[in-house]
């Protein structure tokens, strides 16, 4: 996983660590929501009692926050994408040699691409950073 981090990302990671006491190197933005990836065994600790840590992060950053498990390789790409794009559903996911192809219906495809291809470009960057593959929606 080669995750590129900008200054804003570093600030988010530092704030996350200060509030949750869990160190992570993976955060990204998708659809105006900030995602933090932590190892699966630390998710409940990162969320906090009654979601206290998530609420505090959300208040400070002024955005919706989601804490998700860090993918453990290409085998977990389907669950990883499903968590990120929820509540939008997709029909099938095909993992090819150097690309991930998502098959969605007409309504889902429009929601996944977004206005001016914004969500599509965000997802392409996420898949490239985490799995080193290209991303397409058909």
Task: Flag whether 1 is in a domain.
Answer: no
CB 129 within 8 A of CB 1: yes
Task: Flag whether 45 is in a domain.
Answer: yes
Strand order in the sheet with 134-137: 92-95, 99-103, 134-137
CB 135 within 8 A of CB 128: yes
Task: Flag whether 106 is in a domain.
Answer: yes
Task: Flag whether 43 is in a domain.
Answer: yes
Residues 58 and 79 in one domain: no
Average pLDDT over all residues of the chain: 92
Helix (H) or strand (E) holding 83: helix 77-85
Domain that holds residue 63: 7-69
pLDDT tens track for 53-89: 999 999 999 999 999 999 988 888 999 999 999 999 9
Residues 37 and 87 in one domain: no
pLDDT tens track for 78-133: 999 999 999 999 999 999 989 999 999 888 999 999 999 999 999 999 999 999 99
CATH number where 49 lies: 3.30.300.20
Q: How far apart are CA 83 and CA 49, in angstroms?
A: 21
Q: Single out the residue in 44, 69, 94 at which a domain terminates.
A: 69
Task: Flag whether 101 is in a domain.
Answer: yes
CB atoms within 10 A of CB 87: 5
CB 95 within 8 A of CB 123: no
Domains: count for the chain: 2
Q: How far apart are CA 93 and CA 98, in angstroms?
A: 14
Residue 11 has a pLDDT of 94
Q: How far apart are CA 12 and CA 6, in angstroms?
A: 10
């Amino acid at each position: 996983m080669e995750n590129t981090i900008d200054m804003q990302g570093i600030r988010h990671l530092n704030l996350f660590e200060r509030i949750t006491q869990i160190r992570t190197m993976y955060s990204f933005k998708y659809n105006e929501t900030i995602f933090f990836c932590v190892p699966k065994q630390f998710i409940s600790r990162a969320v906090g009692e009654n979601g206290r840590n998530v609420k505090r992060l959300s208040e400070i950053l002024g955005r919706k926050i989601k804490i998700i498990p860090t993918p453990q390789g290409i085998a977990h790409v389907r669950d990883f994408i499903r968590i990120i794009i929820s509540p939008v559903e997709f029909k099938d996911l095909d993992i090819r040699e150097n690309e991930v192809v998502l098959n969605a219906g007409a309504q889902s495809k429009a929601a996944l691409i977004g206005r001016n291809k914004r969500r599509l470009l965000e997802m392409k960057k996420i898949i490239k950073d985490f799995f080193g593959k290209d991303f397409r929606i058909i």
